[in-house]
Structure 1
Amino acid sequence: MSLRTITVTRYILPLREGGSLPALAEGDDDFKYVLKFRGAGHGVKMLIGELIGGEIARKLGLHTPELVFAYLDEAFGQSEADEEIQDLLKFSQGLNLAMHYLSGAITFDPVVSEIDAKLASQIVWLDAFLTNVDRTFRNTNMLIWHKELWLIDHGASLYFHHSFTDPEGHAKSPFAMVKDHVLLRKATELQTVDAEFKKILTDEVLSGIVNLIPDDWLHWEESELLPDEIRAVYLTFLKVRRDNSNIFIKQADDARAAL
Structure 2
Amino acid sequence: MVMYNEGQDAADATAVTVAPETCDSHTTIGSTASKSERWYASGNERSHSAFNMNLPNNTIWNGYPLYPSDNFHFKIELMNMNHEAQIGYVTVTYDIVEGHPENFREIKPVWLDAALCTGTGSEITAPQQSGKFSVVAEPWVATFDGAILGIAGHVHDGGVGVRFEVDGQHVCDSVATYGSTSGSISPKPMMGGGATVHVSAMSTCIGPLLPVKELKKGQKWTLIADYDYDKHLGILEEDGKQSDIMGIALLFALRSDKRQAS
TM-score by length of 2: 0.29
Normalized per residue, the structure richer in helix is: 1
More strand by share: 2
TM-score using structure 1 length: 0.29
